[in-house]
Amino acid sequence: MWYPAGMEMELNILKVFGLSAFSFFLAVALTPILTHYLYKHKMWRRKAKERTTDGRETSVVRNLESQKQETNVPRMGGILIWGSALIIISIFWIVSRAFPSDFTRKFDFLSRSQTWLPLFTLIAGAIVGLVDDLFTIYGRGKYVSGGLRLSERILIVLLIGAIGAWWFFTKLDPTFFIPFYGLVNLGILFVPVFMIVMLAIFSGGVIDGIDGLSGGIFAAIFSAYAGIAFFQNQFDLAAFSAVLAGSILAFLWFNIPPARFYMGETGILALTTALTVIAFLTNAVMVLPIIAFPLFLASGSSSVQLLSKKFRNGKKVFLAAPIHHHFEARGWPAHKVTMRFWVMSTVLAVIGMVIHLAGK
């Protein structure tokens, strides 16, 4: 190599943190272009959401402070996140081949063992989510309104999960790490476990319900996994996670109240599917419920609410679900709910990262 061996760690630090910063500033620079297009074409929901996933009226949620801009703020802000990441990956891949050197190859973080699969799931989820957002905005035809049905999205997520599980099982290491215990070989059971985890993380996408909420939480989650990958010498994966964290922070800059755009399904599906793969690649699935606790809390509260209304004659556990809307319904301002979830997410992300690294 052209640089001294002692500089290896410094270059890895620059690779991860430098690319994360680059991602942030690139996404900020791209935002005016995206927002101009979204507002010009009125890419927002034509009619406020009136029913929950069980078909019941959403009278409480519809009247909350966080829901009043639903029909005049564009969706599909998630394009900024995965689009910036894709641009950066492409730039450094092209540069490393157009100007081959140890330095340019160092910053090319597209690698078969670490980033091919999370990139695939990121883009696959983004495309499916983009279709869902377009259906939500324009409808699915003369007689069908709204986006993809929940059952359709679940099937698609399971399909993406099956492809990811097959890749792991045949080409990578399908093991499962338990902190303070060690590796467990699940054999063929790895496939359904992978698919179930991806579906569970996807269900946490309901966290995208208040201005700024999902952006702050996902930034903390991906930062934690960037740290885990870095300390495990998975520098390409660390760079990938850090680039996503940087672009999420840029999205958050424009998503804090009043939001310029919403993440939409194109962002939620891209991030949740990629997060699942990153958790398995770092062998840090067991701490995922800690690091991504707000996602599980949101989906869990929605499930509890649905089951309660179904089996208790319409009685509710929460004033509104997911749980962040419950706090709004109790009178908390939306910004208070958001910032307290940010604090909780950051603390739990650090705890989960420490448990995983200490338990190896």
User: How far apart (Å, rounded) are the C-alpha atoms in residues 241 and 228?
Assistant: 10
User: How far apart (Å, rounded) are the C-alpha atoms in residues 158 and 144?
Assistant: 24
Q: Which residues of the chain have pLDDT under 70?
A: 1-6, 46-70, 140-146
User: How far apart (Å, rounded) are the C-alpha atoms in residues 257 and 230?
Assistant: 33
Give the CA angle between residues 31, 254, 40 to the nearest 5°: 50
Closest CA to 136 of 262, 261, 43: 43
pLDDT digits (tens, 9 = 90+) for 225-242: 999 999 999 999 999 999
- In this prediction, residue 60 carries a pLDDT of 58
Helix axes 334-358, 293-311, angle to 10 degrees: 120
Residue reference for tokens 């990441």: 85
Specify whether the CB–CB gap between 298 and 349 falls below 8 A: no
Contacts of 99 (CB under 8 A, 6+ apart): none
pLDDT digits (tens, 9 = 90+) for 142-167: 445 567 888 899 999 999 999 999 99
Specify whether the CB–CB gap between 180 and 292 falls below 8 A: no
Residue reference for tokens 């996670």: 241
